[in-house]
Amino acid sequence: MRATLMAVAGLAFVVVTISAQANEKPSDAFMKAMRDNADAARVIRVASKEFEESGAGAQDFDPFEKSAATMKASLTTTLTYFQAQKVDGAVALNEKALEHVAALEAGAKERDYRLVLEASTALNETCASCHTAHRVRTEDGAYEIKIR
């Protein structure tokens, strides 16, 4: 009986230790980068809606260019973080997101709303994939990063 109890306690310790090592609180720089990304994504959504409502009217590509510049910097921060943690899946998704940001920036500079829309849609999907795979919500409502 005592041996069984010790085995269960040992197994519980291993599970808790592995779980604790599997997630970590993101750094302040990482959190700022994610907030910057969220703000830029909101700007893109608002500008996209304004495009749809204006039809053939005047279209302002500046919000897309500014958002692309913001996201390029912040995604570079998150990429560096995941490279340091050796989280290959997150690295690949960050690299893909940076490709979509480059396409968003190019579409905005070319004043091609179709390219801007395609890039922003692909970027949103990539961001959502990374969030699903590499972040977990804690009981207090905060997020931790899955690093293993």
Polymer length of the chain: 148
Residue 110 predicted with pLDDT over 80: yes
Secondary structure of residue 36 in the 3-state scheme: helix
- The residue among 72, 77, 98, 76 whose CA lies nearest residue 26 is 77
pLDDT at residue 8 in the model: 39
Separation of alpha carbons 104 and 67, rounded Å: 9
pLDDT band at 9 (very low <50, low <70, confident <90, very high): very low
pLDDT at residue 48 in the model: 87
Q: Give tens-digit pLDDT for 60-101.
A: 899 999 999 999 999 999 999 999 999 999 999 999 999 999
CATH number given to 25-146: 1.20.120.10
Where are the chain's structural domains?
Answer: 25-146
pLDDT at residue 141 in the model: 86
pLDDT at residue 5 in the model: 43
Q: At what angle do helices 62-85 and 113-134 cross, to 10 degrees?
A: 30
Question: Residue with structure tokens 């091609």?
Answer: 112
